[in-house]
Amino acid sequence: MKRALIIVDVQNDFCEGGSLAVDGGASVASRLTDYVAEHAGDYGAIVTTQDWHIDPGAHFSEQPDFVDTWPAHCVAGTAGAAFHPDLDVSGVDAMFRKGQYAAAYSGFEGHLAQAGDAEGTSDDSPGLDEWLSRHGITDVDVAGIATDYCVKATALDSARVGYRTTVLRDLCAGIADDLEPTFRDLESAGVRLA
């Protein structure tokens, strides 16, 4: 068994003060930093995902419905797309960016970020599943923002492609007041909650 930690979208725009802020986002950033400091040795890899929007089409709206359309957020190269300053990414093994030209909720839609590439990724850079497979990962822990959107989508895809998947509930922040439906959906798909 070789385990990876996937830290999902702990970015400024998803934390307090951001354009699409989730209550508790900054606290998640701090708690994840502490968690990684204590548990880095438990993981064969630690990776992050980032929304990295260039022109995501109808994903952005001036009259968002907050289901399929959203206010502009995490625009590539902006301060809003950067990791929250309370999240220490110095020990991260790989960063995956998603959503350049379309909505993307799951980290498994992302590609390895490439230094020097204006878009932040390259068409031939590996996707998250390919990268995890190459590194012999069998088990995945998922944490980050938002529990009921990108964390959920990432965990569901992780389980679907065959990783033993756990969502670390205390290291996530959600949008909905009631996250029980999200947790039921995850458990129904074989995702463990811890």
Q: Is 36 helix (H, G, I), strand (E, B) or coil?
A: helix
pLDDT digits (tens, 9 = 90+) for 19-45: 999 999 999 999 999 999 999 999 999
Q: What is the mean pLDDT of the chain?
A: 94
Task: Name which of 74, 51, 46, 73 is nearest 135 in CA terms.
Answer: 46
Domain ranges across the chain: 3-49+83-98+106-193
* Whether 163 contacts 140, CB under 8 Å: yes
Q: Catalytic one among 150, 152, 157, 172? A: 150
Contacts of 75 (CB under 8 A, 6+ apart): 53, 54, 81
- Is 15 known to be catalytic? no
What is the pTM (predicted TM-score) of this model?
Answer: 0.94
Q: Which CATH class is domain 3-49+83-98+106-193?
A: alpha beta
What pLDDT is recorded for position 114? 65
- Both structure tokens of 35: 């968690």
pLDDT given at position 2:
96
Cis preceding linkage at 37, omega within 30: no
Confidence of residue 116 (pLDDT cuts 50, 70, 90): very low
Q: Is 17 left (phi over 0), alpha (psi -120 to 50) or beta?
A: left
18 to 84, 108, 131, 151, 170: CA distances (angstroms): 10, 24, 30, 18, 21
Among the options 9, 13, 148, 157, which is catalytic? 9
Is there a catalytic annotation at residue 9? yes
Residue found by looking up tokens 């458990």 in the block? 187
In this prediction, residue 120 carries a pLDDT of 53
User: Is there a catalytic annotation at residue 98?
Assistant: yes
Structure tokens that stand for 136 in this block: 């012999």
CA distance 156 to 11: 21
Q: Choose, from 13, 74, 98, 152, the residue flagged as catalytic.
A: 98
